[in-house]
Amino acid sequence: MSRDSAFCVSLPGVVLSSGPPSLILDSDMSWFLVTLQADAGCVHVLSDALLQTGAVSVEVTDAYAGTPREHALFAEPGESDTLPWELVNVRALYDEGADIAARVAAALRAANLDPEHGFDVERVADRDWVRATQSQFRPLQLSSRLWVVPTWHAPPDPGAINLIIDPGLAFGTGTHPTTRLCLNWLDANLRGGETVLDYGCGSGILAIAAVKLGAVRAVGVDIEPAALLAARHNAMQNQVDVRFEGAHESVSSRYDIVLANILASPLQLLAPLLACAVRSGGQIVLSGILEHQADEVGNAYREWFDMNITQRDESWVLLAGIKRYPPQERL
């Protein structure tokens, strides 16, 4: 999962055209947003064609989003490239208005669609996009003592445990239910002195929280270089000593607690590796799991752990388990 924040600004009253328009556009305009609906089957070709006609970005969403016919996608590894959607909304952003009608018609033709296919064009005023994105991420109180505070805000409660986070290009602002579930688990369960592995660390938020909540040592691992950069930067901002490193095929140390907020299918594939990273009697904490996936993910870990669903947040669940001792260690 990445921190995509697709934006689209509709300015009231400035829909310039509907249908194949003949556009006369002011020269001081900054961005132009073309919106059209299409069958999902043609969307790869159409997106490429729009980009070839000068669009700086193309966004594709389920036309039924927000309705009972919506089909959510979580980009699980191994999922096919074919979109399961029937009808899509396509939004292409151009940085100049000249010849948009001709350019969109050319793209439609390249995708074997009717060049007269209707579309809308909106003028999008330029803004401070960094500030606009930042304004969506505000201080978040998770418990009486724990806050997540973006770097560009002052902590509302300076005496609290404040996780100072700039997610950069990584996932992990604390606002997603899967991260919240892990933070709440750490807040409720860390006693102090534990060693913690945060597998799929993203912004590093969980490893940093673990240390601030009393862990004696935390290590974060990710496959994304951008996540490791963000996580190291966040550790510095929080003045905590956490090691962040790339993912390996094996984990050399054993930890009291291993947290992994990834997705159901990688969690199942990683079960032997993550199980091996937990000491006997230690705990595994798994997030990124939808309610209907809880059984299959839990089953992948039952060979080593006594697993339970401990918390729910929206349609997400957190699974936690205690690693059983091998028979000879039980004596």
Binding site for ligand SAM (CB under 6 A): 1, 170-172, 178-179, 182, 198-202, 205-206, 221-224, 227, 247, 261-262, 266, 288
Residue whose CB is less far from ligand SAM, 221 or 300: 221
Which residues neighbour 100 within 8 Å (Cβ) at sequence distance 6 or greater? 23, 25, 32, 34, 94, 121
d(CA 240, CA 221): 16
Q: Could you tell me the smallest distance in angstroms from the CB atom of residue 3 to ligand SAM? A: 9
Smaller CB separation from ligand SAM, 122 or 222: 222
Spatial CB neighbours of 287, under 8 Å, sequence gap ≥ 6: 178, 179, 181, 182, 259, 260, 261, 316, 318, 319
Pairing of strands 243-246, 305-313: unpaired
CB of 207 vs ligand SAM, minimal distance in Å: 8
Q: Toward ligand SAM, which CB reaches closer, 202 or 321?
A: 202
- Taking the C-alpha atoms of 173, 174, 176 and 177 in order, what is their torsion angle to the nearest 10 degrees? 170
Is 162 or 261 the residue whose CB approaches ligand SAM more closely? 261
Across-strand partners of 197?
219, 258
Nearer of residues 11 and 223 to ligand SAM, judged by Cβ: 223
CB of 240 to ligand SAM, least distance (A): 15
Residue 178 C-beta: closest distance to ligand SAM, Å: 6
Least spacing, CB of residue 270 vs ligand SAM, in Å: 6
Tell me which long-range contacts 234-241 makes (C-beta under 8 A, separation of at least 24). 234/164, 234/165, 234/166, 234/203, 234/204, 234/205, 234/208, 235/204, 235/207, 235/208, 237/151, 237/164, 237/165, 237/166, 238/163, 238/164, 238/208, 238/211, 238/212, 240/208, 240/211, 240/212, 241/211
Q: How many other C-beta atoms can be found within 10 angstroms of the C-beta atom of residue 42?
A: 16
Q: How far is the CB of 221 from ligand SAM (least distance, A)?
A: 6
Nearest residue (CB) to ligand SAM, 222 versus 256? 222
Least distance in angstroms from the C-beta of 78 to ligand SAM: 12
Q: Which is nearer to ligand SAM, 119 or 147 (CB)?
A: 147
